[in-house]
Structure 1
Amino acid sequence: MGLSLQMPKPRYLKDTSLCTQSTMYPFYNSSFVPPDLSNLNNALGNEFWVYNANIKYNTCLASDLKKMLKYIVSNYDCEPFVAYGYRSYAEQEGLWRGKNCDTNPNCGVAPPGKSLHQAGIAVDLFCAVLSGGDLINFYNIPDAFTGREKNFNFHRPLPGDPPHYNGL
């Protein structure tokens, strides 16, 4: 049995509709690109480590993410970094196929067209272990932070996917 879908209720979700049965429809098609993406590194003021300098994220949610990352730095022994933000349909499909999710429903990756990464409002966060500016290891955000993400307008919907946070 696969993971159940969440009931997304983000404030900034555009060009799609939500139903009340915990699924999104219509699914994001392969040409869908959210209209309000910005470079995440720039939006965070280059204050935090972002895995890829080309990561994009919803412009309206970037300040909430920045506040949450500052809180994590101040309250936990963690140097947070953003591993993923917006993903295109093709990127989501590549990840889904790469983990053989068509035959492994518990692979932890949403099918293409069903991920809030494609909406530009989901991020995957980790704590980085850096050496000379290079990532040498990483681990999940501390469990003690769970529940506090709501104070920053984020939701951690999938216990089986601890790095995944959706902006609300």
Structure 2
Amino acid sequence: MAYNNNYNKTNYNNADRSNRNNGWDKPKFQFDSAARITQPLSIYYANKTDVYLPENKLYLLAQSISKLTNSQIRKVLDLTKESLSIIRYSEADFEKAKVRLFTLLPMTAYNAGRASKGDRQSFEKLLEFIYENVNPESIQCAADIQVFDQLITTVVAYHKFLGGK
């Protein structure tokens, strides 16, 4: 029997290409400067009980990102710790640490884009939190990086406590 080249042949040139996003939906999160913190984090989060205790902001964030794995969240924590170690080594390298911390936004946006449909909403919540807290107005000194490190550490702790993946 001879091989038939025309068997099940599809004309790809005329194929309907109107829906080529492979099920990808546009992100619900939009970068909006109104949602950003406009003062140093060390001042904004001066009242620690409003932030760190259960049923407050960080606990609620940990609940909303429960679909993420520990390793996905620890990537954010690791980069934050890296920024913290830069300033602990030399306060003169604050700008370098600040720039390193700012890379959290594109890293998290990239991971949100790669995430499955079910995890995307959790990544968007994490991205929203990072966008709100990491900007030139909120990170002005080493103390602000330390506060952000405490915030992320608290989110990781609550995520683990709540049984995150």
TM over 0.5: no
Name the TM-score, length of structure 2 as normaliser.
Answer: 0.30
Whichever structure has more strand as a proportion of its residues is 1
Bigger radius of gyration among the two: 2
Q: Higher relative contact order at CA 8 Å, sep ≥6: structure 1 or structure 2?
A: 2
